[in-house]
């Protein structure tokens, strides 16, 4: 079977505008010199200001609907794009939505806690709760399970989207599918991409792309994941585990060696959710050269890597593609720190 036929066996609900465009960035290509730079506009997936999470939610919420769920629960950072996208999807599908915001980034100004994605969570009608820890994925998931048990006892049918490992990575299937778009678009545009650069956090997007491209025979297409939360060793292991589990879901016999997974933490900067000079400069370069809006948490850091590697010749001489995973609302949560 083809990759598309294999994916069709999974429950799915339509939430995104697909395919998203692949656009040439002429001004930044000229600025760095030596390589043509393109962007895959997954900020244009359409659901409540777009982003990569909408692709992932098509599979999670497809399963939720198949199970007859009445409520969906998810956990994430205060400015989580995943939480905001889930709130939007739940509203669209008529599901009750309970979101749990974790305190991952301490000592942030008031604007961070009431604007950006947080504002949209409330606008979209989600029930917002908090979790006091920021680096306890198992604990955050356990709290969701506790709330889900209460809902079930009251007659609801809750569906939990887990953050920690050990659960089927249905979200990664959204980026196996995105890999087919990239391969098809490259063919139709007659572009021989040599490298794809993507933010690497929960690992679903990164792992899904890897599995999809390998399954499609694009083994020579280099995929670079830019760490936005963890150092290299921990992130490489997380991506590998997710990729192996994703291939397993698809019943694909793929050779996925941990040594083949390329990640860098050179642009992680001050840490998760904190913007360093390189990330800020990348946000300004994208905006002022291409009218492209990035965010401080994910895409700003990954784009800093993209530009740095291009300028140093580390992307080679074949065209390179940046996967823009969205996150635009977070710009407002970070306020003057972005442009000031």
pLDDT tens, position by position, 281-314: 999 999 999 999 999 999 999 999 999 999 999 9
Cβ atoms within 10 Å, residue 335: 15
Q: What share of the chain is helix, strand, coil (3-state, %, to 5)?
A: 45, 15, 40
pLDDT, tens digit (0-9, with 9 covering 90-100), for 224-262: 999 999 999 999 999 999 999 999 999 999 999 999 899
What is the DSSP-derived secondary structure letter of residue 42? G
Q: Going by CATH, does the domain composed of 3-51+172-339 fall within 3.40.50.1100?
A: yes
Can 3-51+172-339 and 69-161 be said to share one CATH topology? yes
140's tokens: 């955050």
The segments of the chain whose pLDDT lies below 50 read none
Alpha-carbon gap, residue 41 to 128, rounded angstroms: 29
**C-beta separation of 233 from 195 below 8 A:** no
**C-beta separation of 304 from 279 below 8 A:** yes
Active site annotation includes 80:
yes
Catalytic residue (choose from 80, 115, 200, 202): 80
Cβ atoms within 10 Å, residue 73: 26
Q: The pTM is what? A: 0.97
Which helix (H) or strand (E) segment holds residue 150: the answer is helix 137-153
Identify the pLDDT of residue 94.
98
Rounded to whole angstroms, what are the CA distances from 125 to 50, 238, 268, 279?
18, 32, 33, 32
Can you give the residue ranges of every domain in the chain? 3-51+172-339, 69-161
Identify the pLDDT of residue 131.
97
Identify the pLDDT of residue 340.
64
**C-beta separation of 97 from 71 below 8 A:** yes
What is the DSSP-derived secondary structure letter of residue 221? S
3-class secondary structure for 257-279?
CHHHCEEECCCCCCCCCCCCHHH
User: Domain 69-161: which CATH class?
Assistant: alpha beta
Alpha-carbon gap, residue 50 to 43, rounded angstroms: 5
């Amino acid at each position: 079977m083809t990759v598309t036929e294999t994916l069709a066996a999974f429950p799915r609900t339509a939430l995104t505008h697909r395919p998203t465009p692949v656009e040439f960035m002429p001004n930044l290509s000229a600025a760095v010199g030596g390589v043509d730079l393109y962007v895959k506009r997954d900020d244009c997936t359409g659901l409540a200001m777009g982003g990569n999470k909408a692709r992932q939610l098509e599979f999670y919420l497809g399963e939720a609907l198949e199970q007859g769920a009445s409520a969906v629960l998810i956990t994430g950072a205060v400015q989580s794009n995943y939480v905001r996208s889930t709130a939007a999807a739940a509203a669209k599908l008529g599901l009750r939505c309970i979101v749990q915001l974790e305190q991952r980034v301490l000592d942030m100004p008031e604007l961070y806690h009431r604007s950006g994605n947080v504002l949209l969570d409330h606008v979209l009608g989600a029930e917002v709760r908090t979790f006091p820890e920021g680096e306890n994925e198992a604990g955050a998931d356990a709290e969701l399970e506790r709330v889900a048990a209460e809902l079930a006892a009251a007659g609801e049918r809750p569906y939990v989207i887990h953050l920690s490992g050990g659960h089927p990575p249905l979200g990664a299937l959204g980026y196996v599918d995105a890999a087919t778009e990239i391969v098809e678009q490259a063919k139709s545009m007659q572009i021989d991409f040599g490298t794809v650069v993507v933010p690497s956090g929960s690992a679903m997007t990164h792992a899904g792309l890897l599995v999809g491209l390998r399954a499609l025979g694009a083994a020579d297409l280099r995929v670079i994941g830019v760490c936005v939360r963890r150092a290299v060793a921990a992130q490489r292991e997380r991506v590998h585990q997710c990729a192996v589990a994703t291939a397993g879901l698809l019943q694909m016999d793929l050779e996925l060696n941990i040594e083949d997974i390329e990640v860098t933490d050179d642009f992680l900067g001050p840490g998760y959710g904190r913007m360093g000079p390189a990330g800020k400069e990348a946000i300004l370069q994208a905006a002022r050269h291409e009218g492209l809006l990035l965010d401080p948490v994910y895409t700003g850091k990954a784009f800093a890597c993209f530009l740095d590697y291009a300028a140093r010749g580390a992307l080679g001489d074949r065209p390179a593609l940046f996967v823009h995973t969205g996150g635009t609302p977070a710009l407002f949560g970070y306020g003057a720190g972005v442009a000031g």
